[in-house]
Structures are given as structure tokens and as C-alpha cells.
Amino acid sequence: MDTENKYYDRELSWLSFNKLVLDQTKDTSLPLFERIKFCAIYDSNLDEFYRIRVAYYQGLIDIPKKNRKNLEYSPKTVLSNIKKEVYKQQSEFEDTFYNKILPELKKSGIIIWQDEILEEKHEIFLKEYFSKEVLPEIQPVMLSSSGAVLPFLKDNVIYLAIKMHKKTRPSDYKSSYAVIQVPSDSLGRFTELPELSGKYLYMFLEDVIRKHLYMIFPGYNILSSYSIKLSRNADLMIEDEFTGNILNKLRKSLRQRKTGLPARFSYDKNIPEDLMSVLQLAFNLSEKDFFPVGKYLNLRDLFQLKNPLSPKYELAPLKQLNHPVIDAYDSIMNAVENNDILLHFPYHTYDYVLRFFHEAATDPEVEEIKTTQYRVATNSAIVNALIAASGNGKDVTVFVEVKARFDEENNIAFADKMREAGINVITGIPGLKVHAKTALVIKKANKKNKKKTFAFIGSGNFNEKTATQYSDEGFFTSDKNITKDIEKLFLYLENPVEKFNFKHILVPGFNMLSVLKEKINREIKNAENGKKGYLILKINGLGDKEMIDLLYNAGNKGVKIDLIVRSICKLRPDMPFSKNITVTRIVDRFLEHSRIYAFYNNGNREVYISSSDFLTRNLRRRVEAAVPIYNTELINEIFDILELQLRDNTKAKFLDSCINNIDKKVSEKTKRYRAQSDIYNYLEEKN
């Protein structure tokens, strides 16, 4: 074991997180379709990892060594380590899917066709479906074995690579080759067939095509066909964000993404060498990008697989909780005027946030609405409320982060739609991403010439869809100390060259780093003075070396540190230099997404709800917002919830010095705790 390196590899730590996702696919205590969902999540996560992170390191290799001599690592070494770990995980994934999931589905009466004998009615159904629906979408491309290069394979799209012989020639004559795009975007990935002896039967779309290749190539004997896919570099390269029109540059970069450099060429590992050679020549592929897999690619499409026996083999739906304080008022803003209100999603219903925006849109006393958008839902109810507010004469300002990865096109479209509705839309700060999740509603001045302001600050996006899937915090307040700072934040977004003094909320580039350091150093001082030093950080990623060093120092000085880190973790627990530090990782029904900073402060406990992780980009190169909770009852509630997560011994794992996911030690007599279920029960009982 490397005892010298104080920082674990960023990419391997992320792969360790995805390994825990993979482990859920094998967890037989979960309902079958829950395990299938985790298969889709694992595959989707890995694909994005290749398109962003692996593509980044591949790009570094192409840079001359003299221009990358300041790098702390060798890109080739990083890629080699990634490949070893991914190959190991991929083997586990395929074994689980093909040898466990598919047979268990079949045993449950749900068959995903794997060469089973079909009845005549199925053959008739498939031929008709193929002729009417699939064949019009098919555009076969013949390949030349002479090495003529074709334009490109579309990004992240499944193709069938086909080997065949002309019928007019002997079977041992020169083979012919072709590729066909599988039109799953338009037709869906799974075709439902008529019931088979009382069982439900589905077929991958590429298998439907395979069975009818003779109709596409009538002059050929089809020898074999194999799935292939090219994932391309999905990072958007905007050379200069500081001059010209950022939106136009982004639109151009989005077009280039579709034809970006290869990041991974995935292919059925049973593909013959001659066909592979033809593909390599035809599409100018490099062996460094080759990635052999099982028969089926893009298994993220398992999200589309219908459960005909629903709700059997699924988790019971969560009945979202109401909030008693809000429900005691006829208006959310009246409730917020008199109370600080903390919501825990997805346990609490997100309808309160939607109602907040809709109420602001129609309330005649509301003059202004300001909000940020990072990732919003398709057909967003919040966007519709903002458009309605503008139509009702409100002054609406929306900051849309058009550089939110994979949501760029969606965000640009919403920005255009809102601008057309008369909303003041701001689309980007050069060199920065705006990741803060904040909203401000300002009412007219009263008789004392004082305006009423209401704020919402969250750890997650303004997205009603993901709010049912992600664990996040949302905070309503009318506290003037906080709303004044939120107003300053929006003034900064409108004029990013101006400097502001934030007294309560934490914002990178202003006070976030200095205040966090101050509070951690205070815990160190308390520990050195014989008092209790303790802090809890719940974040999605921990990678900033300066903050890691500060945590190491705090732990070594006697501060007890409990970290709950979802994915990337460069801090190495269980080492001589990381005393008193534990790292917990939780993967369960909901994606752990909330960020909470909690400090014991000699018994005067302090808590912040934040949009920011402890990654260098978040702490230094983004606009984030962390809001303090001043209400003692809410502080206690947050500490209670954090403690429920720390005691989880069912879905939570400890991380060891090599960021492996380690089971917590339990015996048959040990009481089992499961944080997400326990939090729901805690809130339900409290309500």
C-alpha cells in the first residue's frame, strides 16, 4: 500500500463509487426492477465518465510532453489504471446482467428474448412490425475492406456491424461487410411481443433487425452481426469565453460535440478479426479506444424496460410528506414571513417550491422575482410560472447557466423562450459556472416603506422531476440578514465585476474558503484546549487539496471528523496522517445529493445548507451559495438526520485508505439501520 501519497486518485475514487452502484445490481434484497434500474444507472454513469474524464486524459496524451511537464501525473498511467479497474467491473456487470438478471426475469415470467424458439404468431408479428416500422428507418452502409474512410459514426448510437457473403458466389469467397444504425431513439429499445404461453416477451430492437437482415440484404447470406458504438469526447471547448457572444460560441461547440474525437469504441467481444479490421480502417479507429463488452450496448436503455407486473418487483412508491408549518397557512409566503422552513426532498413534496413560484407569479403585491437555473425539468413548471409572472407585469430576472453539461441545449431553449416572454435573462459569466440554487421574491413596500423579501436556497436544482429521485435540502426564509445577501448575490450575477461583502451566506471568490477555514480552525482550537472538536461534512465530492490538508491537520489535532461523501474522494482515511476521520458513502433508493456543513462549535452548533462540494472547481471557479441555518430547532433536525446517515449499517459503507467500499461490521444480533428509510420515518413522526 502506498503510505506516502496523501491524495487518492480522483478517477479511481469515482470508479469506486460506481462500483457501489454496481453492487446494488447484485443485491438480492432489492426488488428485481430496482436492480435493473441500477444496471441502467451504472452503464449511464460509466458512459459519461468515458465521454468526459477519459476523453480529457486522452487529449492530454496528444499534447507534447514539454507543454504538460507541470502535470502531477502521467496521463498514460491514469488511463492504464482506469482500464484495469473498468475491465474488472465490466466483467462483474456482464456476469450479473446475463447470468443473473435475465434468468431471474425469465423465472418471473418476463422474457427478454435470447434465441428462444418463437411461436408462429410472434414471427408474423415481428415481420409485420419490421416491415412497417423498422425498415423505413434503416439506412445500410456497405463497408470497403480496401480502407476507404467513411465520414463518422454518430456519437453514442448503437450500430450493427454485419458480415455476409453474396449468394451468387461460393461461401469461401471474399466476405462483404456493412453497418446499420439501430433506430432506438425513434422506435424505443424494446419491442413488446404478444404473450408467450402466459409470459411477457420483449426483444431488443437490434435483435428484431438481426432476425430480418435477409430483407435488408436480399442478395446475401448473412453470416453474423455484432453491436458496436462510438462514444465521443463530450466536453465543450470554448476557446474564449470573455469576448464575443457566448451563446453563439456555445451553439457552435454543441454542434462540434456530435463529431468530437473518439473516447471509447465499444464492441461485442465475439466480433471476428476480419470484421474488426474493416471497421478500424473504415472509421479510422485507434486500438487505444477499443473496449470489448457483451452482446448488448447502451444498457442505460434498461430505464425503458416496462414492468408488465408492476408494482410487483418494485419498491413501493414513497408517499411524500406534507410540511405542517406551511399547511397551517393559506399562503406559502405568509408561512415563510413568520417561519424559517426546511424541506428535505424527496421525503417532503416538491410541490411547495412550485407553489412558491406560482404564488409569486399571481400575487399582486409581488414586484420582482429573481432566480437561477442550472438543470430544470423538461416542460418545467417553474419556467412556466416565471413566464406567467412576466405576463402579469412582474420584473423577472433569471440567470440561466448555459454551460451546465449535457443540459446546454435544454437551457438555451428555455433561455430563448423566457427572453421572448419579456424576462430579463442572463446567460453566463465568462470563466465561471453559476451553480447556486437560489430564488428571491420581493413584495411592494408597505406603509413604513419597507419591502418584504422571501428567499429559497437549495442544495439541488430547480427540477421537479429529479426532486423525486435526489436527496436534497431546501430552505425558505424571510430573514433580512440572509435575503440581503441573496439580493447582493443577484446584483453580482448582473454585474460580475463589482465586489460585494457577504456577511451571512458563503460565496466562492468572496468569503466561502475563508469562513470554512475559520470554522475548521475553531474546532482545532477547541480540541487543543481540551474541549470537544467535531464536524460533519456531507458532500458529493472531496478533492480540493488545501481543504483536505486542513481536515488532516484537524483530525491529527484531535477533532473528530465524519465525512459523508457520495462519489469522488481524494482524502485517504485510515492512514497515519488522517487520524479521527471516517468517510461514509451511501448508495440507496435515492441519489444522495445534498451538501451540509455542520460544526459542533463547543455545543453552539452551526449548520450551512450548500450547493457546493469540496472540489476545487466548486470552491474556486463557480458561483455557489451556502446559507446558514439560525433556527435552533432546524439545526437540531439537521444534526438528527446526519446522525441517522452515520449510523446506517445496511446501505452505508466505510471507505478505506484505497477508497474501497467496506461493509460496516454487524452481527446477527446487531440492530439494522437504513438511513433513507429512517429519515422518512423520523420526518413522518415529527410531522
- CATH number reported for the structural domain that contains residue 161 in this entry: 3.30.1840.10
Domain end, chosen from 270, 304, 338, is at: 304
Q: What letters, b where the CB count within 10 A reaches 16 and e where it falls short, cover 190-205? A: bbebeebeeebbbbbb
Same domain, 465 and 568: no
**pLDDT of amino acid 376:** 87
**pLDDT of amino acid 320:** 96
Same domain, 296 and 393: no
**pLDDT of amino acid 402:** 79
| Distance separating alpha carbons of residues 533 and 530, to the nearest angstrom | 9
Same domain, 353 and 450: yes
Q: Does position 239 have pLDDT exceeding 50, yes or no?
A: no
| Distance separating alpha carbons of residues 149 and 389, to the nearest angstrom | 54
Query: Which is higher by pLDDT, 236 or 684?
Result: 684
Reported as a single tens digit per residue, the pLDDT across 381-396 is 999 999 999 999 999 9
Q: Is residue 25 included in any domain, yes or no?
A: yes
For cell 444534526, name the residue.
639
Q: Which domain holds residue 595?
A: 512-686
3-state secondary structure of 199: strand
3-state secondary structure of 202: strand
| Distance separating alpha carbons of residues 438 and 486, to the nearest angstrom | 8
pLDDT bin (cut points 50, 70, 90) of residue 151 is low
**pLDDT of amino acid 254:** 47
Same domain, 449 and 529: no
pTM recorded for the entire structure: 0.92
**pLDDT of amino acid 69:** 62
| Distance separating alpha carbons of residues 305 and 456, to the nearest angstrom | 37
| Structural contact between residues 19 and 655, judged by C-beta atoms closer than 8 angstroms | no
| Distance separating alpha carbons of residues 639 and 645, to the nearest angstrom | 10
**pLDDT of amino acid 238:** 45
Same domain, 300 and 332: no
Same domain, 482 and 579: no
Q: Is residue 349 included in any domain, yes or no?
A: yes
Which cell numbers in the block locate residue 611? 450547493
Give the count of domains, the chain: 3
Q: Is residue 486 included in any domain, yes or no?
A: yes
Q: Which of 215-229, 418-432, 462-476 has the lowest mean pLDDT?
A: 418-432
Q: Is residue 310 included in any domain, yes or no?
A: no
| Distance separating alpha carbons of residues 381 and 346, to the nearest angstrom | 17
Same domain, 162 and 50: yes
Which residues have CB under 8 Å from 78's CB, separation 6+?
Answer: 9, 11, 57
Q: What letters, b where the CB count within 10 A reaches 16 and e where it falls short, cover 503-513? A: ebbbbbbbbbb
Q: Is residue 315 included in any domain, yes or no?
A: no
| Distance separating alpha carbons of residues 529 and 46, to the nearest angstrom | 47
Domain end, chosen from 461, 494, 527, is at: 494
Same domain, 347 and 260: no
| Distance separating alpha carbons of residues 530 and 600, to the nearest angstrom | 14
Query: Which is higher by pLDDT, 245 or 536?
Result: 536
DSSP type of residue 429: B
Same domain, 460 and 579: no
Q: DSSP readout, 264-313?
A: EEEEETT--HHHHHHHHHHTT--GGGEEEE-S---GGGGGG---TTTTTT
Domain end, chosen from 494, 529, 550, is at: 494
Which cell numbers in the block locate residue 45? 454513469
Q: Does position 449 have pLDDT exceeding 90, yes or no?
A: no
Reported as a single tens digit per residue, the pLDDT across 243-302 is 455 555 455 544 554 556 788 999 999 999 999 999 998 888 888 889 999 999 999 999
| Distance separating alpha carbons of residues 644 and 626, to the nearest angstrom | 22
Report the DSSP beta bridge partners of residue 264. 231
Q: Does position 66 have pLDDT exceeding 80, yes or no?
A: no
Give the mean pLDDT of the chain: 91
- CATH number reported for the structural domain that contains residue 340 in this entry: 3.30.870.10
Which cell numbers in the block locate residue 8? 487518492
Q: Is residue 115 included in any domain, yes or no?
A: yes
Same domain, 17 and 52: yes
| Distance separating alpha carbons of residues 47 and 156, to the nearest angstrom | 9
| Structural contact between residues 560 and 534, judged by C-beta atoms closer than 8 angstroms | yes
Which helix (H) or strand (E) covers residue 334, if one does? helix 332-338
Taking CB atoms within 8 Å and a gap of at least 24, the contacts of 627-633 are 627/457, 627/475, 627/477, 627/482, 627/504, 627/505, 628/482, 628/504, 628/505, 629/340, 629/342, 629/475, 630/340, 630/479, 631/340, 631/342
Q: Does position 646 have pLDDT exceeding 60, yes or no?
A: yes
CA distances in angstroms from 498 to 439, 495, 501, listed in the order given = 20, 6, 10
Sign of CA dihedral 126, 127, 133, 134: positive
What distance lies between CA 134 and its chain's CA centroid?
Answer: 32
Sign of CA dihedral 94, 98, 104, 110: positive
**pLDDT of amino acid 257:** 46
Catalytic residues, by residue number, are: 435
| Distance separating alpha carbons of residues 437 and 626, to the nearest angstrom | 10
Q: What letters, b where the CB count within 10 A reaches 16 and e where it falls short, cover 218-239? A: eebebebbbbbbbbbbbbbeee
Pairing relationship of beta strands 424-426 and 190-196 according to DSSP bridges:
unpaired
Q: Is residue 46 included in any domain, yes or no?
A: yes
Q: Is residue 274 included in any domain, yes or no?
A: yes
Same domain, 89 and 194: yes
**pLDDT of amino acid 446:** 72
Same domain, 91 and 214: yes
Using a pLDDT cut of 70, give the percent of the chain over it: 92
Reported as a single tens digit per residue, the pLDDT across 176-226 is 999 999 999 999 999 999 987 788 999 999 999 999 999 999 989 999 999
Reported as a single tens digit per residue, the pLDDT across 98-142 is 999 999 999 999 999 998 888 899 999 999 999 999 999 999 999
Using a pLDDT cut of 90, give the percent of the chain over it: 76
| Structural contact between residues 554 and 524, judged by C-beta atoms closer than 8 angstroms | yes
